[in-house]
Amino acid sequence: MNRLQDKVVIITGAANGIGLQAAKTFAGEGAQVVIADFDEEKGEQREQELLAEGLTCTFVQVNVADRGSVDAMVDSVLSGYGKVDILINNAGITRDGMLSKLAPEHFQQVIDVNLTGVFHCTQAVLPAMTAQGKGKIVNTSSVTGTYGNIGQTNYAAAKAGIIGMTKTWAKELARKGINVNAVAPGFTETGMVADVPDKVIDKMKAQVPMGRLGRPEDIANAYLFLSSNEADYVNGHVLHVDGGIMM
């Protein structure tokens, strides 16, 4: 029996990187996956790719920073599937810059997507999960949210905020049958690091006891565990998937 058989899963930011790998992993475990992403062209392309592999998925365009767009996305999922079992708040952007040069609009853009977007999506699925009496919510934080990182004031603030929201919601929603946890990836091989010079990548690897960057499947597997019945008694936890970089 697949671990997520017939579960309806919304994964934000699922057209690329970790989110795309999560969509494949979850669909492979029997889930009905909603690829929720801002990039309509890429999202539709991913939907066709996964369907061609025999996986069950649907693409829904969404701007997580816009509440109306989020509500429309959730309404679409509920009308199509009748429920939402799992929400993976994976969508995120970067607008890096040293504090002295960080544009206020770049600070706000990252907060709007990476933090406020998580609030919007979670609040939007809450009525459906509460009515079911069961649900799993996984939020994507980062080691940057715990330890900070030079040039990432906005990203660190958002990812630290996610940890605070995760623990608050875990306390509020547990009695409703809803588990809320977070995953904190370390340096991971995605589009976000694709343009980083090799010299910098080598330095990043040198900081990791395991000697390599994370792979999208490493993070997707953590999402999978926290979304499965195996994690029914895990609540309010921040799972670091970072190769031991922050020990």
Q: Which helix (H) or strand (E) holds 246?
A: none
DSSP state of 214: B
pLDDT single digits (tens) 111-139: 999 999 999 999 999 999 999 999 999 99
pLDDT classification of 247: cutoffs 50, 70, 90: low
pLDDT single digits (tens) 34-44: 999 999 999 99
> Percent of the chain at pLDDT above 70?
99
pLDDT at residue 88 above 80? yes
pLDDT single digits (tens) 212-222: 999 999 999 99
Rounded Cα–Cα distance for residues 233 and 52 (Å)? 36
Does residue 211 sit in helix, strand or coil? Answer: coil
Indicate the length of the chain as a whole number: 247
Helix 153-173 with 104-111: angle, nearest 10 deg: 30
Strand order in the sheet with 86-89: 57-61, 32-37, 8-12, 86-89, 135-140, 178-185, 238-241
Tokens of 91: 């969508």
Higher pLDDT: 189 or 140? It is: 140
pLDDT at residue 1 above 90? no
Domain boundaries, the chain: 8-239
- DSSP conformation letters of 167-207: HHHHHHHGGGTEEEEEEEE-SBSSGGGTTS-HHHHHHHHHH
Closest CA to 126 of 241, 10, 4, 245: 10
Given this model, what pLDDT does residue 198 score? 83
What residues are annotated to the active site? 155
Specify the CATH number for 8-239; select among 3.30.450.20, 1.10.10.10, 3.40.50.720, 3.30.930.10. Answer: 3.40.50.720
pLDDT classification of 193: cutoffs 50, 70, 90: confident
Given this model, what pLDDT does residue 202 score? 86
Please give the model's pTM, rounded to 2 decimal places.
Answer: 0.96
